A and B are shown apart, each in its own frame.
Chain A
Amino acid sequence: MMMKYELGHIPIEEIAWGQKTSVEGTLLQINREKLLEKTRGDDSRITSVRADIAKPGESVRIIPVKDVIEPRVKIDGKGGVFPGLISGVDTVGEGRTHVLKGCAVVTAGQIVGFQEGIIDMSGPGARYSTFSKLLNIVVCIDVKNGIAHHEHEEAIRLAGLRAAAYLGEVGRSATPAHLERFEMRPPFRSKGDDLPGIVYLYMLLSQGLLHDSYLYGQDMKNLLPTLIMPTEVMDGAIVSGNCVSACDKNTTYHHQNNPVIRELLNRDGIDLHFLGTVVTNCNVTLKDKTRSARYAVKLVHMLGADGAVITKEGFGNPDADTMMYCARLEEKGIRTVIISDEFAGVDGASQSLADTTPQADAVVSTGNANEPIALPHMDKVIGDIRVIEKMAGGQAGSLSQKGITVELQTIMGATNELGFEFLTARDE
């Protein structure tokens, strides 16, 4: 049976505070008080919420950023956006969803881990992040003193989702400028199809406290690898709870707009056959890694894959998972490509990955996250610039008269391992 999904794009080109939260043409107006109220919800852990607007080209730096979320609303079909967290647990991915394109909710505020990041709205840092090109609604959320880290993380995560859902709601009555249509076939191949069959192996970081991802609200580290429809991902079935390095954490926005899923859907039936997506985790123990790797590889094999795209999140420890998936798939005759960033040192002279396998002969590099970059001061800082010296990729002395000198690691999404950006690295 064919399942249908439509994604209606409502382009947002201007954003302003106003009386009423609404979309008129391409202008998104937001009632600030209402946004603050909705963001806070009834979470007693939250002590204050502030909201700011940051536009591309402005001399604005947002720091520290935790997550970025795209406002969407479910118009038709079962369930709601971010199921299992702020909506029920109905399976999403069918019917129709509207998206406010060109804007995003950015969560910031007191630092949770030390791995939140920077978004610069102009200057040299802006080139490295998609988020610098969006109209951002920044919600700075502070929580009660002495609250546990994981409670802090959860409070901010859910508040961000509520803010995005609140803004997304204005898209309900808007007429999309264009409508994308997707038809989901059962994943098994029909006979006589001679296009190469590709499965997407979607690794989600799940290393515990502050390094977790959620599927329908379920903590990924307690799940066996499973199957997911591309359109479920578009409805926010995967949410980031990650405080790993800013450069290569997959924010909720990245998941909603997963570029590998996009590309495979675009090319499905043209030069490949998109057989399905397997979501899997990256846990810390060898036993957990091995169990997930074997199980996920089995699923990829069951789908009849000739090839697989493996995407990653984080670095170091997850390199081991990545190589396990790659080697096992290749042993089964399933050809692989890996998308990974590199940690080759500030001079680029070190080995980039913590683990390797000879089978990993096709790797797409999304850049060396250690490469230093000098960022000038901005006229306005949303958040607190002093945390830069604590961030992964910053260090004591990062902050100077001239600006900040940091590793690319600190820039949100700069070396995203879903292949979101254009950055790469080569041998010189």
Chain B
Amino acid sequence: MRAVLYLNQFFGQIGAEDKADLEPLVKNGSVGPGNLFRELFGAQVEIAATVICGDNYFAEHIDEATEKVLSMIADYAPDLVLAGPAFNAGRYGMACGAVCEAVAKHQGIPAVTGMFPENPGVESFRKTVYIVKTKATTVGMREAAEKMCRLVLKLARKEPVGLPEEEGYLPRGLRRNYFAAENGASRAITMLLRKMKGETFTTEYPMPVFDRVAPLPPVERMSKATLALVTSGGIVPKGNPDRIESSSATRYGKYDISALQRLSPEFYETAHGGYDPTYANEDPNRVMPLDAARDMEREGKIGRLHPYYYATVGNGTSVARAGQFAGEIAKDLIISDVRAVIITST
């Protein structure tokens, strides 16, 4: 079997932070950690090439970088791909996750990476990528490499993959059924008794943790304040110039409405793929209420309406992405002295 390895500029032995802007390049054979992988694979797998890209370059040009790396990998027609391990390096983790996800999706071959559980790449890619759990630093290199090799070989040979704790990968958050040794009632009472005694117990379904935001006190003088409109209902200028995805959005748009009194169906539509678009397309103000906001502005209920609105699609969009959009939009709003925001969802 043939493998291609993905590394950043540092592990690819090009240089440190000063080389982080490096565009993707490819070297024949193995480099850096690749030598360890080669040793572990032995004769079973040949490492045909190593693709190297700077962390900053990747982070700043995610789509472009992914595409370039993908095409370099494809040139070698590998049977499997390894990326990293990235340990606790955030930008590197995101790059490894993106590369593995793209390889699995577009080339249909197994791709495995390794990260420390707190690496932001874990949150972003755990559902789509096998990520082996590593230590925070290179101290854990050999252990990580061993697990990565074992797992990727199983995947390549289409052997059944065991549980996360058996194989060493981070749970992907995918729920799978199996038959337990005891019925649910019996397990429940055993669990309750352990909990009551203060002993350790493992819930079979950990509650998802939501990022709850405490509301601010009401805006004091709304008649003097600037209001902005934000929507996850996908209302975009016709033709969707920013190509916001109909689900699992990776981007949002910022659109000038300073000269508009309402959104005309002639020029606006929804990009959202998760609801019946008939009524939104008939009258986009139903989802992005510019008409009502202008009324309030005229009536003096609000000081003024912010000249731009922001839109994305909230259909299966990950919490991590949504958080990133929110952070960026909030910064923009604060600079413009916006004091209140109406967010519409669908």
In the bound complex, what is the Cα–Cα distance between A363 and B188 (angstroms)?
A: 8
Interface status of B42 (Cβ within 8 A of chain A): no
Interface status of A292 (Cβ within 8 A of chain B): no
- Residues of A contacting B191 with CB < 8 Å? 337, 362, 364
Interface status of A260 (Cβ within 8 A of chain B): yes
Name which of A34-42, A391-399, A417-425 contacts chain B: A417-425
Contact among A306, A344, A352, A425 for B196, CB-based, below 8 A: A306
- Residues of B contacting A48 with CB < 8 Å? none
Is B184 a contact partner of A419 (Cβ separation < 8 A)?
A: yes
Is B180 a contact partner of A428 (Cβ separation < 8 A)?
A: no
Interface status of B219 (Cβ within 8 A of chain A): no
Closest to B161 in A: A428
Q: Tell me which residues from 164 to 193 in chain B have a Cβ below 8 Å from any Cβ of chain A.
A: 164, 171-189, 191-193
In the bound complex, what is the Cα–Cα distance between A361 and B196 (angstroms)?
A: 12
Is B177 a contact partner of A196 (Cβ separation < 8 A)?
A: no
Is A426 a contact partner of B189 (Cβ separation < 8 A)?
A: no
- Chain A window 241-280, contacts with chain B (Cβ cutoff 8 Å), 1 for yes, 0 for no: 0000000000000000001101110010001100000000
Contact among B127, B178, B181, B186 for A259, CB-based, below 8 A: B186
Q: Tell me which residues from 302 to 356 in chain A have a Cβ below 8 Å from any Cβ of chain B.
A: 306-309, 335-340, 342, 344, 347-349, 351-353, 356
Interface status of B238 (Cβ within 8 A of chain A): no
- Residues of B contacting A371 with CB < 8 Å? 176-177
- Residues of B contacting A421 with CB < 8 Å? 183-184
Is A408 a contact partner of B185 (Cβ separation < 8 A)?
A: no
Is B193 a contact partner of A272 (Cβ separation < 8 A)?
A: yes
Using A361-B207, A425-B205 as known contacts, say yes or no to A272 and B189 having CB atoms under 8 A apart: yes
Is A422 a contact partner of B203 (Cβ separation < 8 A)?
A: no
- Chain A window 406-420, contacts with chain B (Cβ cutoff 8 Å), 1 for yes, 0 for no: 001000000011111
Is A368 a contact partner of B176 (Cβ separation < 8 A)?
A: yes
Is A365 a contact partner of B205 (Cβ separation < 8 A)?
A: yes
- Residues of B contacting A306 with CB < 8 Å? 196
Contact among B174, B179, B207 for A357, CB-based, below 8 A: B207
Contact among A348, A349, A426 for B163, CB-based, below 8 A: A426
Is B192 a contact partner of A420 (Cβ separation < 8 A)?
A: no
Is B176 a contact partner of A349 (Cβ separation < 8 A)?
A: no
In the bound complex, what is the Cα–Cα distance between A379 and B307 (angstroms)?
A: 68
Contact among B164, B173, B182, B192 for A422, CB-based, below 8 A: B182
Interface status of A296 (Cβ within 8 A of chain B): no
The residue among B127, B185, B206, B209 with the most chain A CB atoms within 10 A of its own CB is B185
Number of interface residues of A (CB under 8 A): 56
Contact among A198, A342, A344 for B189, CB-based, below 8 A: A198
Using A196-B193, A424-B204 as known contacts, say yes or no to A367 and B177 having CB atoms under 8 A apart: yes
- Residues of A contacting B177 with CB < 8 Å? 367-368, 371, 408, 423-425
Is B178 a contact partner of A425 (Cβ separation < 8 A)?
A: yes
Contact among A344, A419, A428 for B172, CB-based, below 8 A: A428
Is B201 a contact partner of A362 (Cβ separation < 8 A)?
A: yes
Contact among A260, A347, A357 for B188, CB-based, below 8 A: A260
B127 to chain A, nearest CB (A): 6
Is B184 a contact partner of A424 (Cβ separation < 8 A)?
A: yes
Interface status of A360 (Cβ within 8 A of chain B): yes
Interface status of B195 (Cβ within 8 A of chain A): yes
Is B179 a contact partner of A356 (Cβ separation < 8 A)?
A: no
Is B176 a contact partner of A366 (Cβ separation < 8 A)?
A: no
- Residues of B contacting A193 with CB < 8 Å? none
- Residues of A contacting B196 with CB < 8 Å? 196, 306-307, 335
In the bound complex, what is the Cα–Cα distance between A189 and B205 (angstroms)?
A: 32
The residue among B171, B186, B205 with the most chain A CB atoms within 10 A of its own CB is B205
Closest to A428 in B: B176
Q: Tell me which residues from 187 to 235 in chain B have a Cβ below 8 Å from any Cβ of chain A.
A: 187-189, 191-193, 195-197, 201, 203-210
Interface status of A180 (Cβ within 8 A of chain B): no
Is B189 a contact partner of A424 (Cβ separation < 8 A)?
A: no
Closest to B197 in A: A196
The residue among A271, A353, A362, A417 with the most chain B CB atoms within 10 A of its own CB is A362
Interface status of A192 (Cβ within 8 A of chain B): no
In the bound complex, what is the Cα–Cα distance between A342 and B178 (angstroms)?
A: 13
In the bound complex, what is the Cα–Cα distance between A347 and B128 (angstroms)?
A: 11
- Residues of B contacting A356 with CB < 8 Å? 207-208, 210
A107 to chain B, nearest CB (A): 25
Contact among A308, A339, A361 for B184, CB-based, below 8 A: A339
Is A420 a contact partner of B185 (Cβ separation < 8 A)?
A: yes
Is B175 a contact partner of A344 (Cβ separation < 8 A)?
A: yes
Is B175 a contact partner of A352 (Cβ separation < 8 A)?
A: yes
Using A307-B192, A427-B164, A428-B176 as known contacts, say yes or no to A363 and B204 having CB atoms under 8 A apart: yes
Is B173 a contact partner of A260 (Cβ separation < 8 A)?
A: no
- Residues of A contacting B180 with CB < 8 Å? 422-424
- Residues of B contacting A363 with CB < 8 Å? 203-207
- Residues of B contacting A342 with CB < 8 Å? 175, 205
Which B residues have a C-beta under 8 Å from some C-beta of A?
127, 163-164, 171-189, 191-193, 195-197, 201, 203-210
**Complex A-B: 18 CB contacts under 8 Å:** A264-B189, A307-B196, A309-B192, A337-B189, A349-B127, A349-B175, A357-B207, A361-B207, A362-B201, A363-B204, A365-B204, A368-B175, A408-B177, A422-B179, A422-B182, A422-B184, A425-B177, A428-B174
A196-B196, A353-B205, A365-B205 provided; 19 other pairs, C-beta below 8 A?
A: A198-B192, A307-B195, A342-B175, A344-B175, A362-B201, A364-B191, A367-B177, A418-B184, A419-B184, A420-B185, A422-B181, A422-B183, A423-B178, A424-B180, A424-B184, A427-B172, A427-B176, A428-B174, A428-B176
Across chains A and B, which 5 residue pairs bring their CB atoms closest together, nearest first? A419-B184, A419-B185, A259-B185, A348-B175, A427-B171
Which A residues have a C-beta under 8 Å from some C-beta of B?
127, 196, 198, 259-260, 262-264, 267, 271-272, 306-309, 335-340, 342, 344, 347-349, 351-353, 356-358, 360-368, 371, 408, 416-428
